[in-house]
Amino acid sequence: VVGPSIGRDIPVVRSPPVIGNLADLRTTRMRAFFTRAYREYGPVFRIRVLGVPIVVLAGLEANRYAGGP
């Protein structure tokens, strides 16, 4: 069940308004961006791209928990 409290405790990566983290996701900077965000915010964090919130599961432990390999 999705409710208003879902995601409140998930940290949000700081970004400019409107475009959000779009500039960070350019191919040449994407890996560095996700590595920095993982180190700073932990294995689960949120980003925004053009106003759309995206939850990121980073690192082996988070992906195993979510059903990855």
Asked if the model's pLDDT at residue 28 lies above 90, the reply is no
Q: What is the pTM of this model?
A: 0.76
CA neighbor of 45 nearest in space, from 19, 20, 26: 20
CB contact at 8 A, 2 and 38: no
Asked if the model's pLDDT at residue 38 lies above 90, the reply is yes
Q: What are 12's two structure tokens?
A: 């949000």
pLDDT of residue 42: 93
Asked if the model's pLDDT at residue 36 lies above 80, the reply is yes
Point out the least confidently predicted range of 7-16, 34-43, 59-68: 59-68
Residue 52: beta bridge partners? 49
Q: Which amino acid would we find at residue 53?
A: P
